[in-house]
Amino acid sequence: MESYPLQLISHLSPLVVIQGIDPRCKSLAAETALKDEEDIKDNPLMRDTERLHRKQRYVDDIPLVKDVLKIWMKYHLDGVVWDSNSTKQQMPTHQHRYRLKPVDDDYALPNKTHPSELSPGEEGSIITADWLQKYRCIIPSLFIGMYSIDTDLTEEAEISKKDEDLAMEIHILKDQLMKRNVKLLVILVSEKSVALHPDLEDRVNDIRRITGLNNRNGLLLLSSGTAKELQTFAMEVLQVMKVSSSDYYGNLDKNVRRKKSKTLSTVKSPDQSLKNRIEARYSIKLGVLSEFRQQYEPAVKHYETAYENIVELLNMIQLDNPKWKETRLLLDTTLFHIVRIYFYLEKTNTAYKKFDVHTQTVMYFLKDKSVPANSFAVSCWLSQQFKWLAQLSDLSPTTLVPSDTPYKTDSLNRVSPLVLPHSGYLYLQAVDLLKRRGPKNEEVELDSYATGLVTESYEDSLINLLKFAKLAFQKKDNTFNRSIAYTNFQLGQEYFNNYQFEKAMKFFEQSLDCLKEDEWTHLLAAIHMKLLKCSLHLKKHYSSVLNLLEISLLPESPSMKTALGTAEDFTNDEKDFENLLKSSDESIIINADVDSNLDLFETCVLFKRTTVPLSKNIEFQLRIKSQTNHALRNTKLDDVLVTFEGQIPSLILKHDPNAANNDANVMFDKMDLDEERKCYPVTANLLFQPLEEKTFTFIIPALHIGSSSCTKISGVMSYGELFEVRLLSLPMKQSTLEYRHEWINANGSIDIVPTLDPFTTEVVPRQPDTRVSLVSTPSAVVYGEKVSVDMLIDNEDHENVDMDISAKLLYGENQINHTWNGSLSELKLVSIPKSNDIKNSIKFEVPQYVKEEEIRDIQLRIDIVYYVNHDREVPMRDSLQVIIPIVNPFTIGVSIYPRVREDDLPKTFEIEEGDVAIPKPSRYWLMRLAVVTEPDTGIKVFDDTLHLKSGNEHVLCREIVDNYRQRTKDAGDIESDHYIETVINDGHTYRNIAFEAVLSLKWQREGSDTVNEYIHEKWKLSFPLLDPRVLLDIDANDKNNDLVLTYLIENPTSRIFAFSTTLIENQAFQVSGTKSLSHLSVLPCTRQAIVFHVTPLSTGLLQLPQLKVYDLDYRVNLPTLPITDIARAHKQEVFVQIDDI
């Protein structure tokens, strides 16, 4: 932007002149010193001026005036090309900005208007800078006169005389301004408050009457008040400024339009050039006036009209015409106004399209005038255009031109190429265009306009543009890292071309960080090559070597040929390279630590075995691979130090130039320990070709028990006599996440070593030749089973072996007690004889089944500790572990039936001595059990026992052992009948009895004499004691198939029950007997029998007729329960099996 005059491109703000402020008060706002004020005296308008009338003193010594001025100065704007408050989004909520100009008593205005219009047929300027200056700097849109009103006077005549003089002075000033259509705002300043001086308001009104200025926007009173009141007053004046400027420039707009119409009407038709000139002139004026009023939509239309007419004029003007430069400048500045206004309207992509059209248009008519596109003039001009567009983008808020994206996308066409790029790319475009320019002297005579825009040298222009681009990219952290790196590279290149090697190195180094992360090797090579040359020029040999090493570590590829070839040329010409580096007085020594990234060599270590018995050999392999390319030719390691943590001494590998250099795998099987240095020194040829790998295998005797790890590999690399690199830690490439590692044998074959820790081995005591195994381990055990597991010891060792053996059995989280050989809790064996049949047994009992735990296995672990030659200081440990499943091979079914006995009901009327008053009824029950064993288990059940436990001590539940019956089935299954009696023992009333029943089974495995007991989970049962019920007994006739059904209605209580009975017949039987009774009484502790004779009418499982017994008191039906095995009950129905009729 600095290439164009500021007055032609600056932001247009209404000019407001303030008189009555002493020049010393300008320190309140330094910005009020207008930047182009010095040029006013050269304006033709100022040749004939009229001084504005003023005799009153300055008022700036009054404190409240200073406060108001401070507020106004916040809205002062001058000499800038951008105003963020003028954007479409900010304008509705922000005050307008003004060009505030404090003036002294000598301020004068022109007497007449400077002629700027063209007469028809006259060849003159389209518009002059004087006209712009007239409204920017000379003629204000509002004139503010500040006067002090004296409140210290007391005489009425004196006050009246003072006020009349002041009014007359204001009146004269008003007339002077009215001739120029400039509005006057008078501000009377009083240090006193109107509240304390009521007459002050009257005095002000008198002055208003005399001067004809109203109280709204003509004459205002500024009196002492609070800060808020002063703020309100200042904002009211700003509103007056806004209205006045709008009116002033609006009137000028009307005058210009009239003049334009009048002037165009006098132009002859054939004179197209004059028409274009007039259209351009008045359109620019209308655009300027609209811009003063912040009416940007019409302003940009006027500027576009002017632009089109200027382009047509340029097509008619020759390059040697004196008007060529002036018209080109006007075209560029008009386009600048168009672009800026579209920025204000938040249409940045439209602005970029206008900019693109502008460049294409100028290129077109320059080509038409035989100016080459790649000429010095065109390249300079294009570069300047992209530069000011980038600068304008930088000034804009991020809402218009985002700083975190490369482009401002187009809302209508997102893939459009005409979208505004990030300002950093615009600067880079300007750089690229500037670099394309041809020789300067060729086009000076053709188009000298562009050379007039150049304000700095070519080199400075490039560097400044690149610095601007870098600053633009740095606005958003970590977003444009690659672009910043590219810009730094270009800056370094420019300084390098200018032989400013120190600055070049700085920017080259800054560009490396991002490129290393992205692995752009061809760029890295180019930069390091530049750094190498800079370092050599600056005699910085340490840096030279570092950059040479960086180049040597880059991977070779076709894109790297140029850089690597240049580096190789340095090192191949050994004499010259040596002379360059030897010019240093000090030897070049580089310390490359872990963080230096100078990984000149890569190593790989591997122990062949993770454990090695004592007195055997440890096999350790070290692979070293050169990481350097052909830039360094051969590299040499003077020595390599391999450091171990643990029992293994360090290895020192030294270079021997006389050793063979063609062995891919060097074996060191006989090494002498240096007792003084505690290391194994060996020698080998350590000269490496580019990317060459060498393998070294070490056979190390295992002398001490313990773990050892390779922790560090270091070395020293030298490059002739030129420099030395101390490699403090060579990288080891293996990962502990890998499991398969390669061991390279002497013949080149490869073995796979499975280990998760290739860096570590452990020397362990010698394991004796003694083996322990478990035999006769059952495939499964049963809850409650007594188990014996045999352990065999096979000892073949040639020395004495002692053993400590302990076992641990876990049932869930609980331990199971066990014994060795029936009595010992732990085995201690001394001097085990040579034998392969030493037998010991561990015995234990499986816990009984508990449903809540649901544990299904037993974990058996045997821990063994060996001692060779009775040396208990060196234990060797081993263990055996087995999991034994627990199974439940028994399926148990249980059925419960009621039964009766003759004496189960007490005799109510026969009371013996000692009996309780209330009879003690008892009931009998049959519990039938069926035990089925899983087949092929070899288990035989031979006995069962039922254990009963009542939940109430006053109610008995006991088994009648005399009636117990057991029936054995095939495969060891059994069925058994258990008769149970339930009795109330204390004479109280209990309706039910709750008790627990537990079944115990005695069983054996085939071929074993061990008797095991299985205890089934307990059953929780509840039997009724005193509820009435119906019992059904059936007798079969031996002579025929007739049945006698005896229904026993039982009343075990001490009260009388009344029932009704109804027999419901079916088609399966013919029934005889009393089928219905409406009232049947049953006495206490008795049974009432009802007998029916039935004849079956068919065969099969038949349903018996159903007797409904209804309790007349409690209104319920009694259940019918069979007490014979002939019948089967299902829900409320009873069935019998009839085989023949």
Tokens representing residue 1139 in the block: 């085989």
Mean pLDDT over the full length of the chain: 86
**pLDDT category, 37, cuts 50, 70, 90?**
low
**Sheet with 1076-1082: strands ordered across:** 1076-1082, 1057-1064, 1106-1111, 1116-1117
Average pLDDT rounded to a whole number, residues 1020-1045: 88
What is the tens place of the pLDDT at every residue in 659-687?
888 777 888 888 888 888 889 999 999 99
CATH of domain 1027-1141: 2.60.40.10
φ, ψ of residue 469 in degrees (nearest 5): -60, -45
CATH of region 770-888: 2.60.40.10
1027-1141 and 770-888 share a CATH fold? yes
Q: Is the pLDDT of residue 12 over 90?
A: yes
Q: What is the pLDDT of residue 606?
A: 94
The domain ranges of the chain are 6-110+125-252, 499-586, 590-764, 770-888, 1027-1141
Please write the tens of the pLDDT for every residue from 623-658: 999 998 888 778 899 999 999 999 899 999 999 988
Q: What angle do CA 746, 748, 753 make, to 5 degrees?
A: 85
Residue 601 CB: number of other CB atoms within 10 A?
A: 23
Q: Say whether pLDDT at 442 is over 90.
A: no
Dist. CA 374–CA 819, nearest whole Å: 104
Containing 416, the helix (H) or strand (E) segment is none
Strand, coil or helix: what is 241?
helix
Other residues' Cβ atoms within 10 Å of the Cβ of residue 124: 15
Q: pLDDT digit string (tens) for 299-330?
A: 999 999 999 999 999 988 888 888 888 999 99
Q: Output the furthest CA–CA distance in the chain (Å, rounded).
A: 163
* Phi–psi pair at 960, nearest 5 degrees: -90, 95
Q: What is the pLDDT of residue 868?
A: 82
3 state DSSP class of 27 = helix
What pLDDT was estimated at residue 963?
73
Count CB atoms within 10 A of the CB of residue 533: 18
Token pair 């008078």 is found at: 186
Q: Which of 1078, 1083, 1092, 1095 is nearest to 1120 (CA)?
A: 1092
Considering only 514-523, 538-547, 819-828, which range has the smallest mean pLDDT? 514-523
869 within 8 A of 800, measured Cβ to Cβ: yes
Q: 3-state DSSP call for residue 1083?
A: coil
Could you give the 3-state DSSP secondary structure of residue 173?
helix
* CA distances to 221, 242, 246 from 187, in Å: 6, 17, 20
Rounded distance between C-alpha atoms, residue 854 and residue 888, angstroms: 11
Report which of residues 567 and 205 the model is more confident about: 205
Give me the half-sphere count of Cα atoms (radius 13 Å) on the Cβ side of residue 154.
0
Instruction: List the single range of 62-71, 346-355, 570-579, 1001-1010 with lowest mean pLDDT.
Output: 570-579
Range scoring the smallest mean pLDDT among 198-202, 206-210, 357-361, 779-783: 198-202
Among 658, 747, 757, residue whose Cα is nearest residue 697: 747
Q: Write down the pLDDT at residue 776.
A: 84
Residue 483 has pLDDT above 60, yes or no: yes
Instruction: Choose between 1106 and 831: higher pLDDT.
Output: 1106
pLDDT of residue 919: 67
User: Per-residue pLDDT for 414 more than 80?
Assistant: no
Half-sphere exposure of residue 780: CA atoms within 13 angstroms, side-chain side: 13
Q: What is the mean pLDDT of residues 105-132?
A: 68
DSSP reduced 3-state for 507: helix
Predicted confidence band of residue 445 (pLDDT cuts 50, 70, 90): low
Burial class (CB in 10 A: 0-12, 13-18, 19+), 250: middle
Q: Which two tokens stand for residue 878?
A: 């081993």
Read off the pLDDT of each residue in 56-79 and give the average, rounded to a whole number: 87
Strands 679-684 and 601-607: unpaired
Tokens of 1126: 């002939």
Pull the structure tokens for residue 427. Answer: 């600067």
Q: Can you give the pLDDT at residue 369?
A: 86
What lies within 8 Å, CB to CB, of 1105 at 6+ separation is 1045, 1063, 1064, 1065, 1066, 1069, 1071, 1092, 1094
CA dihedral 257→259→264→268, nearest 10 degrees, is 180
Instruction: For residue 240, name the pLDDT band (cuts at 50, 70, 90).
Output: very high
Least confident window among 222-226, 962-966, 1134-1138: 962-966
